[in-house]
Structure 1
């Protein structure tokens, strides 16, 4: 999230209040509240900053100078404070109200001093009409819309709050306005998955990978989906390997990809063992065939597990699964080696 820049906006509000004597108390209150909000934000005390920005927004609104910029700052502060309920409420209100954060700055140059200054719209227009000799270089500039940021942030907040259906509806609303927004497309996939729409999620991932084939996270997510269906397990292996290849500097993603790669290759081992035990006496020949097939799956998984261990020698999950595979393949020397490593890591973790 972007750092806030607050000084310019509040100066214009204070200037307007300063024109009327009876507004001095309000002016002082606005300045004090603004300072408290800014100080809290800059000190990363977001729990205090959020309510203070709301207080500032309410003060300005009550005195006829509503500026939703401060409501936006409040929502951002609440989000940074992990106050999901308040931040969701504010961001939802901002989006529904049509707030974009676009502001127009009016500037002109004083010919005598050469200084360029900013003015409110009425003053700028008056100067432009009546002071052509004293002022020149009249310009207007519009700030960038923050509406895409509102959609992106609220999508994340809703997903974090497990309000997945609301998140999906919001993201699709945002994509209707900003169809090329990369973050909303990414969040769309997450929302589809969270709401159980896995077929759409897979299609979404494949679409994103066509546009960006170097996205390791999307390859990993695609592999997870593919691994859940026997018919696409081979595709899952390819996807996990691709994720590993593209994530050399992301150890967490790489570990997850290796782990899923190993387990996908092994398959549902509990089910395989149950099938073997169920027919071991009644059909020993078939049981032997199943045992050999199970052994072959472990043989195929072994190089993946060894590479995982090489990449993450202090990952206890990598050590444990490699120990189990060596045990299945009757490599007792390696089993002993992995047991020792496992004990070492367990001792360090205490």
Structure 2
């Protein structure tokens, strides 16, 4: 699951109220604190302050959910998952899209462009043609698809896979071509143990985008876990590596899976050899040779894994074992020394 990464340009608003001074002062103070905290990346402070602005506005008769959205975003960035989930759920259920229309006009005397509410803007346009000009409207972009993406991520991070699937499916009903929601759907299906649907999901995505290395890798993982498709996994992992570009982690993981897919269930193989070593030595020798052949076949994959992740203790340990089994003492000693070097760097 990818770490939640969110960003938005939040701009300060000028409040226009026919309210008591103390209410307006509270609004201005809360808004300033929220904005300052957000800009300073102090999201823990910003989130409740944005909610305070929202509640004060609502009390004054203006249900502006933009500030609830800012609060949800800040909670998410602060990694406060539960309040973020609640706010994003409420926003989606309310039908909030974030689309707003801004009305502006230029004061011909000062040259200043100012924003107005719709009624004032229309009145100025009708009655003050000499004093004002450049009457413009601008509509903000919808954030509805972002709401579904973010809530899906939050729910997946909270291990609420069934709830995540429900939100993802609701989002895909509105945005059927949303690549992120399709990816999250696969993640949720896999996390909930529904591997058949996950495989179907991956194949559908790969049909649309056959150059997606991550989806090829995930498909290989599923194939390698199923005896009926394990033989297909090798080609699938190689496809992921081919498309992986400079993604050392993905390439390393693909090679790692290639190694262990090639070796197979070595514990069972060793148990079988030990069980018949005395009663059927010829068969045991045959199995030993077959095991060595698998290790020899896996060795180039492990060496490529090492090139992709030379500081990874798992690959160093694996290579050390492979060199031992394939009787390459010099390389075994090299990996043993490398293992000690890496371990010495580990915090104690």
Map of 2:118 onto structure 1: 121
Map of 1:309 onto structure 2: 306
Q: Tell me which of 318, 327, 330 is aligned to 2:324.
A: 327
How far residue 141 of structure 1 moved from its aligned partner, in angstroms, is 2.0
How far residue 72 of structure 1 moved from its aligned partner, in angstroms, is 0.4
State the secondary structure of the residue aligned to 2:210. coil
Map of 1:237 onto structure 2: 234
| Cα distance in structure 1, aligned partners of 2:114 and 2:43 | 33
Matched, 1:187 2:192: no
Matched, 1:2 2:13: no
Q: Tell me which of 258, 265, 280 is aligned to 2:255.
A: 258
Give the alignment's Cα RMSD to 1 decimal.
Answer: 1.7
Asked if the contact 2:273–2:288 (Cα under 8 Å) also holds between the matched residues in 1, the reply is yes
| Cα distance in structure 1, aligned partners of 2:28 and 2:106 | 28
Matched, 1:50 2:55: no
State the secondary structure of the residue aligned to 1:139. strand
How far residue 194 of structure 1 moved from its aligned partner, in angstroms, is 0.9
Map of 2:77 onto structure 1: 80
TM, length-normalised to structure 2: 0.93
More helix by share: 1
Map of 1:36 onto structure 2: 33
State the secondary structure of the residue aligned to 1:230. coil
Count, aligned residues: 342
Map of 2:286 onto structure 1: 289
Asked if the contact 1:209–1:215 (Cα under 8 Å) also holds between the matched residues in 2, the reply is yes
| Cα distance in structure 1, aligned partners of 2:114 and 2:48 | 32
Asked if the contact 1:165–1:195 (Cα under 8 Å) also holds between the matched residues in 2, the reply is yes
- String of CA shifts for 1:265-314, please: whole Å, max 9, x gaps: 11110011112222222333322222222111111101111122233332
Asked if the contact 1:4–1:73 (Cα under 8 Å) also holds between the matched residues in 2, the reply is no
How far residue 115 of structure 1 moved from its aligned partner, in angstroms, is 4.7
Map of 2:209 onto structure 1: 212
- String of CA shifts for 1:305-342, please: whole Å, max 9, x gaps: 11222333322211111111111122223222221222
Instruction: Show structure 2 runs of 5+ residues with no match.
Output: 1-5
Matched, 1:60 2:48: no
Map of 2:3 onto structure 1: none
Stretch of structure 1 that moved more, 330-339 or 175-184: 330-339
Instruction: Show structure 1 runs of 5+ residues with no match.
Output: none
- String of CA shifts for 1:213-255, please: whole Å, max 9, x gaps: 2222112111111110133223211222222233342222222
| Cα distance in structure 2, aligned partners of 1:101 and 1:212 | 30
Map of 1:341 onto structure 2: 338
- String of CA shifts for 1:145-176, please: whole Å, max 9, x gaps: 11101000000000000000000010000000
State the secondary structure of the residue aligned to 2:314. helix
Distance 1:109 1:178, change over 3 A: same
